[in-house]
Structure 1
Amino acid sequence: MSTMHIRTRFAPSPTGFIHLGNLRSALYPWAFARHNQGDFILRIEDTDLERSTQEAVDVIIEGMAWLGMDIDEGPIYQMQRIDRYREVIKQMLDAGLAYPCYMSEAELNALRDAQMANKEKPRYNGLWRPEPGKVLPPIPADVNPVIRFKNPIGGSVVWDDAVKGQIEISNDELDDLVIARPDGTPTYNFCVVVDDLDMKITHVIRGDDHVNNTPRQINIMKALGGTPPIYAHLPTVLNDAGEKMSKRNGAMSVRDYQKAGYLPEAILNYLARLGWSHGDAEVFSKEQFVAWFDLDSLGRSPAQHNPEKLLWLNHQYIQQADPATLAEATKPFAHELGMDTEQGPDFVQVVNLLKDRANTLIEIAEGAKLFYLPAPQFSAEQIAQNIPEAIIPALKDLIAAIAQAEPKKEAYSAAFKQVLAQHQIKMPALAMPVRYALFATTQTPAIDSVLVVLGKDEAINRLSRVVS
C-alpha cells in the first residue's frame, strides 16, 4: 500500500435512523483513510425514493461531524448520478454485457414457485439471455423489460477478504442480476460498482451483510474493465440481547446519545472497540486510534453492544475532561433544567466539583441544580426535625470559623476540624445539618469543596438562618 493512494467510502441509505452499528461502519473506513493519509468519501445511496429523505441525510452528517469524522468528498448523492448509470447501462448493452429481459413478474413468480416445489434454489433461468445460436421468445408488447447483467458461466469469484480471509463463490450460484428496473431506474448492486469505479475506491470496509453482494459486484466491475477494491467485511454488531442491532430491536440513534449526555470522544472510543483492538488499550484518544488503526487488527467475531461499558467509558472521559470545556458541553442540559448559569456560582467550578461522580452530562446538570436554586426557606418545624438543638452551638462556632477562614478547601476543612475538636463530636453530626441548612438535602459532594463553590458569604447567610 506504500504506493497506493487510499480511498475509502461510507455509503449509507438515508432512511432516518443511524445507530452505533451504522456509525462503526463509517468509523473504520474513516480511520483507515486517515491513518494512510488517504481520502474518505461520503456517498448517499438514495435510490430508494420512498424512504430516502434529506432530514435523514442531515442526521447522518450531523452524527459524523459530532464524532469528529471529517469527510474529504461528499456528500455525493446517487440520484444525482442517474444519467451516468444509464450511460454505463447503454455501453453494457452495446457491448453484449447486459440484455433486456421481458419475463413478467407473474412468470418470474411462477418459475420461483416451481423451483421451490422441486427443492431447487429460486433463480432466474436465463430465458432471455442471448447466446450464439439461441432463438429468443417473441418480444411481448405489454412488458417493459428489466436489464440483466450477463454473469459469467462456470468458474468462481474469489477474493481475499481483509477480515474473513479467502472467500470463493461459484458463478453457478449467481443468476443474471437485474441492473435496471422496468422504469429504467438502476439497482443497488450496479450503482455501487459504477460509483466505486468512478470514485477510484481502493478499500471497501463495510458490514458482513454485504458479503453476498460482493461476488456480483466483482463480476460487474471486471466486466467494466475495473480492478476490484480490497474488501473488508465487518462482523455484525449485536445488541445487549444478542440480536442484530437495529431500530426494531431498540437501538438508540446518535441523537439519542447526544440528548442523553454522552461525550462524542467516549462514543468514538467505544465504537472503535466494537470489532477492533490494540493490545489491552481501553481508553484512548481519536488521534491514538488513527495512529494505531489497521485492518489486520479487526476481529472476526460479532461485537456485542454493552451499555454499561459505554457508560463507564463516558465516566472516564468526563473525569479526564478540561473543566471549562466540560462546562460548555453541560450548559445546554443545565439550561433545559431551568438554570441560569450566569447567575450564581462560577459554573466551571460547579462542574469541576461534580464531574468525578457523574456518568453523563445530564447527571452533572442535575447535580448543579443545588447551586442555582433559590436558598431554601425553612419553617421552625423543619429546622427542629432536621437540625438537632444540641448541634446549634457547634453550628454557630462553625459560622464564625468559616468567616475567619480563607476561601479555600483546606481552610474550610481546618475550620470543621477545629469545631469538631472543640465540641467533641464526629463529622457526620455536624456535616449533615450543614448540608441541610445549605441545600435542604443531606446528599452533596464533599462539604469543604461545596463551601468553596457556593461562596463564603452565601454559605454564612444560609447557615445563619437556621441558628438565629
Structure 2
Amino acid sequence: GTPPEGVEPVIRIKAPLDGNIIFDDGIKGEICISASEVDDFVIARAGGVPTYNFVVAIDDALMGLTDVIRGDDHLYNTPKQIVVYEALGFDMPKFYHVAMINNEQGKKLSKRDGATDVMEYKTLGYLPEALLNFLVRLGWSHGDQEIFSVEEMIELFDPKDINKSSSNYNLDKLLWLNAHYIKNSSNNKLAQMLKDFGVDIENHDKLELLLDATKERGKTLVELANQINLILNAPAEYNPKASKKAFKGTAREYLEEFANMLKNWDSTLHTPPEYHAVIDKFVADKEIGFGKIGQPLRVSLLGAMTGSGLDEIMAILGVDETINRIQKAIEFIDNRD
C-alpha cells in the first residue's frame, strides 16, 4: 500500500520472537543470544540502500565463504547475520571473533599508536611480508617461532590456535621484523622498492656494494634511502657538533696526508678491504689511534658521525670523489679557522 504522507518506509526482516540464537565461535566457544535481544532490524533504508548486516551475509554466502574471521567488535552483529542466513537458506559459515589489538599500555589502539590505513605503512617504508608477519603473530603463535614466510603461514595457520586474549601493538617488534626482511631481501628487489622513496640506483655500478653497506642499518626503506643518500650526495654542510669534535687539532694535517696516500697508492683501489689496508697503513705509519683519522674522515665524506663503514663508503665513492670530499672539508676547516 501507499505509506502515510511524510513517512519514508524502510524494509525490515522478521526476527525470531522467542528462543535463543546459538552459534559455536571458533575462539570464544558457544555463544547464546536471546532472540528478544534481536529486533526486526532494517535491511534496506528508505532510499533503497541495503544495510551492512544484510549485504555482508549475502556477499559472504555468494562467495562461498566457509570461515569468517574478524574482530570481536562484530560479535553482536553475528546473530543478525544468522537471521539473514537462515531466512535465505544459506549454509552457515564458521565464525571466529578475534580479540581486539591494544596499544603497548593495554588500552584501545588509536591512530596515535599505529592504527592507520594499511597503505600508510608502505609510505613509512615497511615491507608487505614484514607487516603480514607482524599481524599474524599478534593473535596467533606456533611454538616460539617469530619469523614466518608466506608459505609457512599458509601451511601452519589454523584459526583454532588464535589467542583468546587481546594482543598489544608493539612498534619495536614491527621494526625488528622489517629490518630482518630488508636484510634478507635481494639487492635487486630493494633497488626496485627504493624508487618509491626517491632513490634510483638500479643501474648504479656499485649497486651490490652500496646496498650491502647500508641495508644492515635501515629498519625501514625510508631509513635505508636516507643511508644511501648520505653516501651518494656530497655533504652540503657539516653537522656542527660532529665537525667541532672531528675537525680539531691534527685533523687537517691528517686529512691532507691521507688524501695524498690515496692518490699515490701503488695499486688501483676497488674493494673495501683494499681501502681498509690504506687506513691501516696510515694509522701504523703515524702511530695513532684509528679515531684520529677515522672521525675527521667520516665527517668529511658524510657530513656527520653516522653511516656505514669507512672502507665501504670509499669503495663506493672511488678515489677521486673521496679525495674531492676531503679537500672540501679541508677548505671548510681553513675558512672556519
> What corresponds to 1:300 in structure 2?
164
Equivalent residue in structure 2 for 1:448, among 311, 317, 321: 311
User: Of 353, 359, 366, which aligns to 2:213?
Assistant: 353
- 1:362–1:184: structure 2 CA closer, same or farther, 3 Å change rule? closer
**Cα contact 2:126–2:178 (8 A) shared by 1:** yes
Cα distance, 1:181 vs. partner? 2.9
Write out aligned runs for 1:257-406 (5 A): 257-335=121-199, 341=201, 346-374=206-234, 385=248, 388=251, 391=254, 394-395=257-258, 398-399=261-262, 402=265, 404=267, 406=269
Query: Counterparts of 1:194 and 1:224 in 2: how far apart (Å)?
Result: 9
Residue 289 of structure 1: how far off its partner (Å): 1.1
Offset, 1:367 = 1.7
CA shift, 1:343, in A, is 9.1
Partner of 1:412: 275
Task: Decide whether aligned partners of structure 1 residues 418 and 166 sit closer, same or farther in structure 2, where only a CA change above 3 A counts.
Answer: same
Q: What SS does structure 2 have at the residue aligned with 1:169?
A: strand
Q: Is the 8 A contact 2:100 2:167 kept in 1?
A: yes
Matched, 1:218 2:78: no
CA root-mean-square deviation? 3.3
Give unpaired runs (5+ residues) of structure 1: 1-99, 103-138
Q: Cα 1:444–1:201, aligned 2, differ >3 Å: closer, same or farther?
A: closer
Q: 1:153 to 1:314 in 2, by over 3 A?
A: same
How far 1:268 sits from its partner (Å)? 1.1
The Cα shift of 1:400 comes to: 5.1
CA, structure 1 residues 228+433, in 2 after alignment: closer, same or farther (shift >3 Å)?
same
SS at match of 1:300: coil
SS in 2 for 1:267: helix
Query: Shift of the alpha carbon at 1:372?
Result: 2.8
Query: What is the alpha-carbon distance in structure 2 between the residues aligned to residue 235 and residue 377 of structure 1?
Result: 51
Give the AA of the match of 1:438: L
Letter in 1 for 2:258: L
| Paired residue type of 1:283 | I
Residue 425 (structure 1) aligns with: 288
Structure 1 pair 311/361, CA: closer, same or farther in 2 (3 Å)?
A: same
Deviation for aligned residue 1:463? 4.0
TM-score, scaled to structure 1: 0.62
Deviation at 1:251, TM superposition (A): 2.5
- The alpha carbon displacement at 1:182 in A equals 3.4
Counterparts of residues 194-213 of structure 1 (less than 5 Å): 194-213=58-77
Partner AA of 2:276 in structure 1: S
**Residue 178 (str. 1) matches residue 26 (str. 2):** no
Q: Is the 8 A contact 1:376 1:439 kept in 2?
A: no
Native 8 Å contact 1:163 1:233 kept in 2: yes
Post-superposition Cα deviations, 1:345-374, rounded to whole Å, max 9, x if no partner, equal 634432221111111111122122233324
SS in 2 for 1:356: coil
Give SS of 2:43's match: strand
1:428: Cα distance to partner?
A: 0.9
- For 2:14 and 2:149, the matched residues in 1 are separated by 48
Matched, 1:148 2:8: no
Letter in 2 for 1:404: S
Deviates more, 1:234-243 or 1:293-302: 234-243
The one-letter amino acid of 1:173's match is E
CA distance in 1, matches of 2:110, 2:324: 54
Task: Identify the residue that residue 192 of structure 1 maps to in structure 2.
Answer: 56
Q: Is the 8 A contact 1:394 1:430 kept in 2?
A: no
Instruction: Compute the displacement of 1:466 (Å).
Output: 6.6
Query: Equivalents in 2 of 1:342, 1:327: separation in Å?
Result: 6
Task: Give CA-to-partner distance per residue, 1:77-117, whole Å, 9 cap, x none.
Answer: xxxxxxxxxxxxxxxxxxxxxxx9x9xxxxxxxxxxxxxxx
* Matches of 2:113 and 2:170, distance apart in 1: 14
Q: Distance in 1 between matches of 2:76 and 2:166?
A: 17
1:158 aligns with 2:32: no
SS in 1 for 2:216: helix
Output aligned runs, 1:79-158, within 5 Å.
143-158=7-22
Residues of 2 paired with 1:259 and 1:224: CA distance?
Answer: 43
Give the Å deviation of 1:197. 3.1
Query: What CA deviation, in whole Å up to 9, does each residue of 1:37-69 have, x standing for no partner?
Result: xxxxxxxxxxxxxxxxxxxxxxxxxxxxxxxxx
Give the superposition deviation at 1:142: 5.0
* Gap change, CA 1:288 and 1:386, over 3 Å in 2: farther
| CA pair 155-327 structure 1, distance change in 2 beyond 3 A | same
Identity %: 37
2:117 matched to which residue of 1? Answer: 253
Distance 1:205 1:384, change over 3 A: closer
CA distance 1:189–1:402, shift in 2 (3 Å)? same
Identify if the C-alpha distance between structure 1 residues 151 and 412 changes in structure 2 by more than 3 Å, giving closer, same or farther: same
